[in-house]
A and B are shown apart, each in its own frame.
Chain A
Amino acid sequence: MEAAPFLVSLRLGAWVTAILLALCFPLAWALARARGRWAIFIESLASLPLVLSPTVLGFYLLAAFSPRGQLGAFLGSAFGLRLTFSFEGIVLGGCVSGLPFMLNALKAGISGVSAGIIEASYSLGKGRIETALRVVVPNMKGAFLAGVVTTFAHAIGEFGIVLMIGGSVPGVTRTVSIAVYERVEALDFTGARAYSIILVAASYVTVLALNTLQRVEARR
């Protein structure tokens, strides 16, 4: 058993979680406070990865970012960026796939913060950013925790979308899930079992930690 797939999975989880945290907070804020009908269309689009096959999503990403395609060729020539069979590519795939987990958790958290305390902050002369950082964020710690943990856990276990856009490049795009798949393909069930048991244990510990922290937070 190699350590590299675990390191790739952990790096993938960390990047996807950090990027989605930064992207989803303002989007969740806008959706939670939205009064227009447009919000339902954005929410439905963002939730698509929950119901759509990861392989289909991965296929579309592969087609869009292939160096033979217009977008992929442009990114390559303009920025030297290659999103197929690269670590950056699986981070993109992980972000698409993990978007609803982070967005829904943050939106629920922001919706749970009373509009009254946000307005009170505005009436005390504070802008949106200061209000978000000092009033909203500290009062939705549970939602943050849920968003971070579920997105991270989902990203390290992601398979279909990552395989489609990233393939299985050792040390670069071969995650634990892909390593398990390859071990099974090679009829090496002992190797597959070893990878799997560690992934199961890590996932259980992550969810256990989330539930424990949420209980502690709820008691405060």
Chain B
Amino acid sequence: MLGFSFAKLLRAGRQSFALEVEYSLPEGAFLGVRGPSGSGKTTLVRCMAGLERPDAGYLRVGPETWYDSKRRIDVPPQLRNVGLVPQDYALFPNMTVLGNILYANSDREHALELLALTRLEGQARLFPRELSGGQRQRTSLARALARRPSILLLDEPLSALDEELREELGDELRRIQRATGVTAVMVSHSGSETSRLCDEVIELRRGRLDGSRSLLR
């Protein structure tokens, strides 16, 4: 079970608005967060990862509380067991594909399993600059899964790819999420993408939940 409630004042140019979101998600589900640019989607993911601090709220992952403003709990990002796939993938340029995965978890056997799961066996010894956009995305995903995270956070993971590849890798993302059973949250500005891939979709408009619906697959 993933439960969160965040309130945070956001600035967009000269204007400011409040991010106010509350939601809970069953374990193993895939939540899609969609909305236009500047609606607070990325901030939501960053708050979950501990990279930004909300002004108030809570974040519970299974039996653990990672953030609770009332109880003054704020677990640092290093101690939150999250798998993060940022928008630009943030691969370590000085490490190979295998090196990036082993950096997250030194279990070599697990790393080789993840290479197979993400179909990157042939690219294990390549550096990020030698990879295509799709291969970078899968490397970032494999690295995020290496720690066997409690939640997987995907910030616009398909936005840097062309249309054809988006669909193919979107399906692959869904397959991998199902295979690992990890609870996932994916942020995307594409409504069709979240509807197609996610179990539940919420929509953010200027920081507020516009509506929620369960697609109940």
- A33 contacts the other chain (CB 8 A): no
**A123: contacting residue among B51, B91, B93, CB under 8 A:** B51
**A residues less than 8 Å from B192 (CB atoms):** none
The residue on B at minimum CB distance from A122 is B77
* Those of B92-107 within 8 Å (CB) of chain A: 92-94, 103-104
Q: How far is the CA of A121 from the CA of B91 in the complex (A)?
A: 9
Cα-based distance from A211 to B83 in the complex (angstroms): 40
Q: Could you tell me if A127 and B90 are in contact, using CB atoms closer than 8 angstroms?
A: no
Binds B, one of A18-26, A98-106, A112-120, A186-194: A112-120
A74 to B92, CA, bound (A): 49
A214 on the B face (CB < 8 A): no
Decide if A124 touches B51 in the complex (CB within 8 Å).
no
B51 adjacent to A119 (CB under 8 Å): yes
The answer to whether A117 and B78 touch across the interface, beta carbons within 8 angstroms, is no
> Which of B77, B83, B88 contacts A116 (CB under 8 A)?
B88
Decide if A117 touches B92 in the complex (CB within 8 Å). Answer: yes
* A120 and B86 within 8 A (CB): yes
Picked from A114, A124, A138, the residue with its CB within 8 Å of the CB of B104 is A124
Q: Bound complex: CA of A68 vs CA of B30, how far in Å?
A: 73
Q: Which of A114, A119, A124, A138 neighbours the largest number of chain B CB atoms within 10 Å of its CB? A: A124
The size class of the interface chain A forms with chain B is: 10 to 19
Which chain A residue shows the least CB distance to B93? A139
Q: Smallest CB–CB gap between A160 and chain B, Å?
A: 40
Say yes or no for B31: interface residue by CB 8 A criterion.
no
Q: Determine whether B141 belongs to the interface, using a CB cutoff of 8 Å to chain A.
A: no
**Residues 30-72 (chain B) with a chain A CB within 8 angstroms:** 49-51
A124 B93 Cβ-Cβ under 8 A? no
Which of A117, A134, A138 is B90 in contact with, Cβ under 8 Å? A117
Residues of A within 8 A of B86 (CB): 116, 119-120
Give bound CA distance, A121 to B146, whole Å.
Answer: 13
**B78→A120 contact, CB < 8 A:** no
Q: A36 at the A/B interface (Cβ < 8 Å)?
A: no
Complex: how many Å from CA A122 to CA B103? 11
Interface status of A64 (Cβ within 8 A of chain B): no
In the complex with contacts A119-B51, A120-B84, A134-B103, A125-B79 CB distance below 8 A: yes
Provide the B125-137 mask, 1 if CB < 8 A to any CB of A, else 0: 0000000000000
CB distance from B90 to the nearest CB of A (A): 4
Complex formed: what's the CA distance from A122 to B83 in Å?
Answer: 11
> Does A126 reach chain B (CB closer than 8 Å)?
yes
Interface residues of A in 116-151 (CB under 8 A from B): 116-117, 119-127, 134-135, 138-139
* Interface pairs A-B: 3 shortest CB-CB: A120-B90, A138-B94, A116-B90
Q: Name 6 A/B residue pairs within 8 A (Cβ), A-sorted.
A: A119-B51, A119-B86, A120-B86, A123-B80, A125-B78, A125-B147
Q: Which residues of B contact A (CB under 8 A)?
A: 49-51, 76-84, 86, 88, 90-94, 103-104, 143, 146-147
Which A residues are within 8 Å of any B CB, using their own CB? 114, 116-117, 119-127, 134-135, 138-139
